[in-house]
Structure 1
C-alpha cells in the first residue's frame, strides 16, 4: 500500500526538519543599523546596501577602487525594506549557506580595524523584472549613469558621518535621508532616465529609440541610442552623396560635448572646419569623409551590453544592429553596405568590434580591434580557463594576477584576480556588481537556475566549474570560428582578411595572451595570412589600432573602405556578406542559455530497486541533476523515518542503500532526500519517488 497524501506531507516536513540548521549572526563586534527617514520610500524596496568607510574627514566616494587603502567596503542584500524597518549588518559571510555581509578587503565587519572613519551608506535599489521566458530577477536598470556600482540615480543615501570604531562591541546607527537624483541633463528626452537625446548641433546628432526586441524580452520599456558625428560639408538634402560609417565601440558615453574617448573637443573642432592644419609646414588636408557613430547602450549588468545577444542581458545585438543601425541608415546619408561599415574599438570595445564582424559578416565589412577582451578562453586574461581547477591560484600555489603595470620601469603584477572578484562581490551578489568580471559572467555564460548568470567559478574560493565553463564556448570567438570553418556558415572563407587585431605585448590586463591563443587557432586552419595581427612590443593597454595617431587612423579606415568598394582594388563580394553566415541568433542563444534551459538542466533524485542478497533488494539511485557548484547532502528516509546520518554527495554520484538483517522480511518504503546549497541560490530540498522493497 502506497503513502497517503498526508503521509507524503509528513515525510516532507520531516525531511525539512532533518536538514534545518541554524547559523547565528555574530553577537559581538561591530554592528551597523540602518533605517529610512519618514516619507523617503513610497513602498518596500529590494536592493544592495553598501557601507563605505574612509579615513575621517574624507568623502567615502572619493576612491572606491580595488587597490585602495585604507578604505573599507561592506555590502548586504536587502529584501522588502520599508519605512519603519531596521536592517542590521554584523559579522561576515556565512560560507556554507550564503553571503550575508561581505566586505573588502576584510570579508567580516568584525575585522574592521579600530580607528577614525568617515562612514556613509547607500542602498542601490533593484527593480523586479519578469523576462519573457518566465524568469524573475531583481536588477538595477541604469538611468543614464552607465551602471554605477554605488550611488547611482535612485539610490538611497545617508549623510557621511565621522565615527570612532573601537574594535569591540559597538553599534553605529545610520538613516537613509535622501535619494540620489538623476544626472543633470539638457535635451529632448524620450522614455525617461536621461539617456538622451542630447542637444544637437550642425554635425553632432543624437538618436535614441525604444527597442522592440529588448522591451519584449524585459517586459518594460528599453532604449538604445547613438551619437553621430557627420562629416564637414554634410547636406541632409543631398541624398546622392553618401558616406561610409565607422562604428566605434566603447563604454558608456554621454552626449554633448562628449562623443567618445577618441574624439575630443579639439578634434571635433577640426572635423567641423573640414581642414586639418599642417604641423610640419606642409599643406593642410581635408578631413576624411566618414560618418562616426558611438553607441549608448547601458545595460542591467554593466555600462554597456557588449552589443551581442546574450541569455542574461537579452537581444542587444539585434536591438543595435537591426533596429538602431537601420534607424540611423534611414535618418542619415549612409552607405548601407557591408564594405562601408567598419567596426573598431579597444578593450571592451575591441571585443565588441571583432565579435560583431564575426557574428554579423552580412552587416559589417571589417573590424580593427585593439587590445580586446579575451578572444579565446584558453586564456581568460591570465586564467587558463579550460584547464585550471581554480581561477585564483595556480597548482604551485602562486596567485593569478589580473592587473600589471610599469612601476619605475619594471613590469610588476599589481592586482590579483581573487582581489578583484572579492571586491566586486562587495558591490553585488549573483554577478550584479556592475563591474568587469561580473559582466563577463553575464555576457559569456548561460543563466543559472537562480535567474542570474551561471558563474564559472565560486567567487569566494575560486573553484572553477567546468560544466558552467562549457556554456561559455559559443562566446569563445576562436572556438566559434574554427567550429564553423567549413559548415554552412563557411567562416573560413567568409571572414578571411576581414579581422585586424592590435595589442601590446605588456597589456595591463594580460589580454595579449587571449589574442595569441586566438591567432594560433585560426592560423592552424587558415594559415598566417588569414587575419592580421599586430603586437606592439612593450606597450600596455590603450591607444588606437597599431598605435596610430587619430587622423592617420581615420584616413587608414577610409582607405580600407575605398579598396573594398565595388570599384575598389579588392572588392568585398556578396558571397562573403551572405546572411547564411550570420551567427549569435537570438532564438539559439535563449534556447541554449535561458530560463527554460536552466529548468531542463535540473532533475530530482531517482531510485530503483535491484536484486540483492538472498531474495532481498538493493535500493540504488542518483542524486539528481543540479547547477554546477551546488553543494549536496543526502538522507535516506525509510518508512517515513530518517535512516542513518546525513551524508555528503556529489553531482553524478550513484548512492546505494543495502539491506539489513534486522529488518527481516518486512517490505520497506524508501525515499532519498537531497538538499542543495549554493551561494546566491535558495536552499532547496529535492526528494525521489517512493520505492518499495524487501530489504
Structure 2
C-alpha cells in the first residue's frame, strides 16, 4: 500500500470515529441508597439498548453507549448524554431513520478493579425500562443490584481450591488469589492409594472455574462420567480472571508472573490435595479457543513440567498470521494491503460477519479509558498479555484504537509470545522435550481465521529435523471455531494416551 493511500484510509477511519450520532438521548443514572456502600469511583457506565425482550439488555444488545463519569460519587444522578463528546457508542449509527419499535434500556456500572469484564461479581446494574423509539428520549435508571460472588456446585466429586498467591500479590502490591475447581474420577474414593492422571483445562476467553457447574449438571456427561467406561482422570478447571481480562496463564509485564504462580503455587497445591504424584509424568493440558492457545503455550513454555496437550481451535499461534493480519509488517489492522476492510469474523461459508474496525469500536466503548486498553475483551487482553507496560502503569497499545495503525515497535515485543517463532528459535532444545506431547485440532473455516496461523505452524513442524516433530495437527474441512471441541472427546483421548503409556511400561 502506498503512503498516500494509507494516509487517506487512516483519515477516513478517524472521521468515522467522530461521526455525529443520530439521536439525542439523556439517561439519568442513580445509585440506590442500599448500593452506595458498594459503589467505587472511577468505573465505566455502559448503557445497553435492545429491541429484544426475551433477554436482559446487558447480556446482549444492539446498541451500547459508554462513558467514564469522572468525580461521580453516587450522591446525585449522573446523566449520560449521547451528544456528549466523551461518550462512545456502537449501534446508534445503524438505527433505522423511521424507527417505531419499543426499545429496552439497562445500565451497568463496571467497577471491579480485579476483573476486566462487565457481568462479573462486584459490578452494579439497573432494572430494565422500555420506551417507544424517539430521537429525543429522557429516561431515569437506578443501579439496584450488585452482582454476587460466583459459587461452585456442592458435590462429593467436586473440589474447590483457592489460595492467596504470594507471587502475584507481591507483583501487584495487594492480595491476589488463584482458584480452580476439580472434578474427581468415579473411582477416586475407592482407591485411596492410587495416583490418577491429571488434566488442566484452560478456559475459553475470560472463562471461569465455574464452568464445572454446567458440566456436572449436564445429565449426559454426568451419567457417562460416573459410568464404568469413563476415563479415570482428575479434571481441573482453571480460572483466567485478570484485571485486564484473560491472563492467558502466562507471565506478562502487565498481569504479572501468572505462569510462575500457576506452576509453582496453584498446581502444587491442587496436586497435594488430590494426591497426584508428579513422578507419574501424567500431567496434561487441554482447552478450546483461548484455552487452546493457553494449553499449547503452557506446554511450549514449560516443556518438562507438562506431559502432553490437546489444543482445540487455538488463538493465533503465529503473529505473522494474526487472523488475516501480519502484525510485524502490515500498516493497519482495520484495512488490508488492498485497501479493504479487514474482516474479524466469518461464517463457515466464508461470509464476513464482523470487521476488525467494528470489533475494536466495541472494545473502545467498554473501556474506562475510551479505548480498548482495558476493555476486558479479546484485544484488551492481548495487549495486557503480550505487550509491554505503557503510560501510567497500564498496558501499551499495539495499534491505534481509532485508525488501526500498528505501532511496530510494540508489535516487535510481542514476539516472545509468538508460539511459532518461539519454536523456530529454540527447536534444538525444545524439540526433544516436546516429542509425543502436542495434539492440535483446527477447523479449516475457523470463524476467527485462526486456521491460517495453525497451517503455518504445521508447515514449520513438518520441516523440523533433529528431532523430526511428531506433533499431531489435524484440520477438518468446512468446520468452524471449536466445532469438534467437547470435554468428553478430549478426556477419551487422554485416557487412550494413558493406556498406551501404561502398556509401554509393562513391556519394558
TM-score by length of structure 2 reads 0.84
Aligned to 1:265: 219
How many pairs are equivalent?
481
**Correspondence for 1:248:** 201
Structure 1 contact 73–426 (Cα < 8 Å) conserved: yes
Would the alpha carbon gap of residues 254 and 355 (structure 1) be closer, same or farther in structure 2, given more than 3 Å must change?
Answer: closer
- When structure 1 is superposed on structure 2, of 115-124 and 45-54 the one drifting more is 115-124
2:164 aligned with 1:210: yes
Q: Does 1:427 align with 2:413?
A: no
Residue 596 of structure 1 is matched in structure 2 by none
Moved more, 490-499 or 556-565: 556-565
Alignment map for 1:637-676 (pairs within 5 Å): none
Q: Structure 1 residue 41: deviation in Å?
A: 1.9
1:508 and 2:447 equivalent? yes
Structure 2 counterpart of 1:36: 31
| Separation in structure 2 between the aligned mates of residue 225 and residue 153 of structure 1, nearest angstrom | 15
Task: Give the aligned partner of residue 87 of structure 2.
Answer: 101
Matched, 1:541 2:507: no
Q: What secondary structure sits across from 1:414 in the alignment?
A: strand
- Mark the CA change 1:108 to 1:77 in structure 2 (over 3 Å): closer, same or farther: farther
Measured in 2, the distance between the counterparts of 1:424 and 1:343 equals 30
| Corresponding residue of 1:481 | 423
Distance 2:256 2:473 in 1: 31
The 1:212–1:63 alpha-carbon spacing in structure 2 relative to 1, beyond 3 Å, is closer
Question: Per-residue CA shift, 1:377-436, capped at 9, x if unaligned?
Answer: 011122222221110111322111111114xxx432211111111112211135322222
For residues 257-656 of structure 1, the aligned pairs below 5 Å read 258=213, 260=215, 264-273=218-227, 275=228, 286-302=229-245, 304-337=246-279, 339-406=281-348, 410-428=349-367, 429-486=371-428, 490-526=429-465, 529-544=469-484, 553-564=490-501, 568=505
Q: Find the residue that maps to 2:451 and give its secondary structure.
A: helix
Deviation at 1:568, TM superposition (A): 3.4
**Cross-structure match for 2:175:** 221
User: Which structure would you say has the larger RCO, counting Cα contacts within 8 Å and 6 or more residues apart?
Assistant: 2
Which deviates more, 55-64 or 437-446?
Answer: 55-64
Distance in 2, matches of 1:92 and 1:166, equals 15
Task: Give the distance between the partners of 2:331 and 2:58, measured in 1 at CA.
Answer: 37
Deviation at 1:326, TM superposition (A): 0.6
State the Cα distance separating 1:478 from its structure 2 match.
1.1
* Equivalent position of 2:138 in the other structure: 172
Aligned to 2:185: 231
Question: How far 1:172 moved relative to its partner?
Answer: 2.3
How much has 1:156 moved relative to structure 2? 3.2
Contact 2:107 2:143 in 1 (8 A): no
Partners of 1:291 and 1:73 lie apart in 2 by 41
Relative to structure 1, is the Cα distance of residues 378 and 289 closer, same or farther in structure 2, using a 3 angstrom cutoff?
A: same
Task: Tell me, yes or no, if structure 1 residue 87 matches structure 2 residue 27.
Answer: no
Provide the secondary structure at the position in 2 that maps to 1:540: coil
What TM-score, normalized by structure 1, do the two folds share? 0.63
* Counterparts of 1:516 and 1:553, CA distance in 2: 21
1:562 Cα deviation after fit? 4.6
Is the 1:346–1:544 Cα contact (8 Å) retained in structure 2? no
Q: Map Cα deviations across residues 221-275 of structure 1 (whole Å, 9 max, x no partner).
A: 3222222222222237732x211112222243454962659x94322233223x2
1:51 aligns with 2:24: no
Could you tell me how far 1:456 is from its partner in structure 2?
A: 1.2
Residue 496 of structure 1 and its aligned partner are, at CA, apart by 3.4
- Superposition CA RMSD, Å: 3.3
1:233–1:80 Cα change, 3 Å: same
Measured against aligned partners, the alpha-carbon deviations of 1:293-317 in whole angstroms (never above 9, x if no partner) come to: 2213422223x43111122222221
2:183–2:212 CA contact under 8 A, matched in 1? no
Q: Which deviates the most, 332-341 or 457-466?
A: 332-341
Per residue, is there more strand in 1 or in 2? 1
Gaps of 5+ in 1: 1-22, 66-70, 95-99, 127-139, 183-192, 276-285, 572-695
Equivalents in 2 of 1:389, 1:566: separation in Å? 54
1:35-184 equivalences in 2 (<5 Å): 35-38=30-33, 40-42=35-37, 45-55=41-51, 61=57, 64=60, 71-91=62-82, 100-106=86-92, 116-126=102-112, 140-142=113-115, 148-149=117-118, 151-164=119-132, 166-167=134-135, 170=136, 172-182=138-148
The alignment partner of 2:189 has SS state of coil
